Amino acid sequence: MNKTLIIVPAFNEAGNIENAIADIEMHKKEYDILVINDCSTDNTSEVVRRIKNCTVIDLPVNLGIGGAVQTGFRYASENGYEYSVQFDGDGQHNAAEIEKILDPVQNGKADVVIGSRFLKKEPNFRSTFARRKGIYIFKIVNLILTGQRITDNTSGFRAYNKQATEFLSHNYPEDYPEPESVVLLGRNGFKIKEVSVSMKERQNGRSSIAGLRIPYYMFKVLLSVLMTSLRKRKNYA
């Protein structure tokens, strides 16, 4: 068994998942790959099972991104991995940058590293105006609640050490896990760092958050983040 587990949550990503895994395989060093198939209604599971050196967990019901990723954390914790990496199955992340986000965790400079699209301008990626405003609001709220400046609270490209993985295996948020977990981790004493990463365009399918859904999403996330900030701090030692 290798020291690092790549956790790939996937829901109806049959058109993207094979290329995403191929990208990881092309650049992987000492990684194991785990795909969490979140009860997809397409043939995501069948596509992944044709790939060698890749473990698949098929969830019997759709748990959403929070439940899928938490399943990966529990697998990593129960199997003794030193590090885990969240890597979305839609093909938008660059596997060549996995080492970039792992390095600060492995060197003890951070407990969690987030791959940020907004630390510097990326020529191949530009989000919508509404998304950029939402990200800015999250940045301010997060700074107030945790004292840590995070530019990309919704990024699904993250690396964790063993302690953070263990903590999230028991406490990972369900509704809006990326921004909520930043607050949860920050308020429980974990050191979070960001590194700049690039982002590719989705090749197949579309995001579930678009158009008029963005302001509604922002409002609900802000409420969830504020509620998360009120939770009693956990003892993760």
User: Do residues 108 and 27 make contact, with C-beta atoms less than 8 angstroms apart?
Assistant: no
Structure tokens at 84: 């885990």
Q: Is the pLDDT of residue 214 over 70?
A: no
Model pTM?
A: 0.85
Q: Is the pLDDT of residue 211 over 50?
A: no
d(CA 67, CA 177): 9
What is the pLDDT averaged over residues 190-205? 82
Topology of domain 4-229 in CATH is Spore Coat Polysaccharide Biosynthesis Protein SpsA; Chain A (3.90.550)
Strand partners, 160: 84, 112
What residues does each domain of the chain span?
4-229
Residue 29, pLDDT score: 75
Residue in the structure block whose two tokens are 């995001």: 207
